[in-house]
């Protein structure tokens, strides 16, 4: 049986249609080669898109539609200062942006589908799911990069300013610095873990013996721990994007220097355990997002289920007939 059909059948049995994903592929932006890669659980890399993007950085996926939003950080005239939108199959749909964008870097999505865009000039812009402009704000951020939404708060990593800032998702009003200091060194990617804590990838800016890390905080700002490449995560070098698996809860960490994806043990006592490399050879790999394929409507699911049941019954009857004939 095809692997995606197996995943769909398992999904139907074990989860509700509202929360289920048919597969667990991830999408990774390659800023150097202007490619978006699709990386399935087996690690066999394919190209999701290589046109209608220019030096892509931030990437997010709408969990309802499966549409993929990509920040274009390059200077190609047709795509400068824009966000490209693709469907779940990699077909280009549209782009949006204009005067409210300036070399966009990071992206984030809120539960209603609104898209937040970080810009190289320190500003943040907000659009609806269709790409209509809502609002923008100038900030005190030196170099906003990775972003993530938790509740009513937008968290933004300031890669040069060495801090994570908080903003209200409705008004984009600055709510102050979430974390800064020695533990935050070149913060690049942000993700909410399965334990509800905020994880920060730190692409170290130290001139001598840089140590790339992941730091963990509660949403109340309490420091939990630092996980460093020189200790338990040997496969991590230049981490940017981070994403947690929906079933294994382990972290997928995109390493820009080595162009690979590290798999790191789930939060808890074992977090920081190096589970190896999922994929390598990804060039200037930067950010990561889940590749979501919406579950079919109930009628379609019923047809698939009936078809599967019929196939199993037919196979079983054929085996029985052969046994009798023998």
Place of tokens 């993929």: 68
The Cα 169–Cα 66 span in angstroms is 22
Angle separating helix axes 298-325 and 3-14, nearest 10 degrees? 110
**Per-residue pLDDT at 238 exceeds 70:** yes
Assess contact for 235 and 261: CB atoms under 8 A: no
pLDDT of residue 122: 97
Architecture of domain 3-295: 7 Propeller (2.130)
Q: What is the pLDDT of residue 288?
A: 97
pLDDT of residue 298: 56
Q: Is the pLDDT of residue 10 over 70?
A: no
pTM for the whole structure: 0.84
- Which candidate, 242, 260, 259, 249, places its Cα nearest to that of 148? 242
pLDDT at 39 exceeding the cut of 50:
yes
| pLDDT, mean of residues 108-132 | 97
The confidence score (pLDDT) of residue 36 equals 98
Strands (E), 55-114: 56-61, 68-72, 82-86, 92-97, 104-109
Distance (Å, whole) CA 107 – CA 222: 25
Q: Locate 120 and state its tokens.
A: 């190289």
């Amino acid at each position: 049986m095809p692997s995606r059909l197996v995943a769909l059948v398992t999904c139907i049995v074990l989860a509700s249609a509202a929360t289920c994903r048919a597969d667990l592929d991830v999408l990774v932006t390659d800023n150097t080669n202007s490619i978006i890669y699709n990386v399935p659980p087996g690690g066999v890399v394919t190209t999701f898109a290589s046109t209608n993007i220019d030096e892509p950085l931030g990437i997010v996926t709408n969990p309802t539609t499966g549409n993929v939003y990509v920040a274009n950080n390059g200077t190609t005239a047709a795509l400068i200062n824009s966000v490209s939108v693709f469907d779940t199959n990699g077909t280009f749909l549209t782009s949006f942006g204009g005067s409210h964008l300036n070399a966009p870097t990071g992206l984030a999505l809120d539960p209603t589908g609104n898209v937040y865009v970080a810009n190289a000039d320190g500003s943040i812009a907000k659009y609806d799911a269709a790409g209509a402009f809502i609002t923008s704000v100038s900030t005190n951020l030196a170099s906003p990069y990775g972003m993530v939404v938790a509740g009513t708060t937008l968290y933004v990593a300031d890669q040069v300013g060495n801090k994570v800032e908080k903003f209200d998702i409705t008004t984009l009003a600055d709510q102050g610095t979430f974390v800064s200091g020695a533990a935050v060194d070149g913060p690049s990617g942000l993700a909410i873990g399965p334990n509800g804590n905020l994880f920060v990838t730190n692409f170290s800016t130290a001139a001598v013996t840089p140590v790339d890390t992941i730091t963990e905080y509660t949403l109340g700002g309490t420091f939990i721990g630092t996980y460093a490449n020189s200790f338990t995560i040997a496969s991590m070098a230049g981490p940017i994007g981070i994403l947690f698996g929906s079933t294994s809860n382990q972290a997928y960490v995109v390493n820009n220097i080595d162009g690979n994806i590290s798999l790191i043990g789930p939060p808890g006592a074992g977090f920081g355990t190096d589970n190896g490399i999922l994929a390598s050879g990804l060039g200037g790999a930067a950010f990561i997002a889940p590749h979501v394929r919406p579950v079919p409507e109930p009628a379609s699911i019923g047809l698939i289920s009936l078809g599967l049941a019929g196939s199993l019954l037919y196979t079983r009857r054929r085996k029985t007939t052969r046994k009798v004939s023998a």
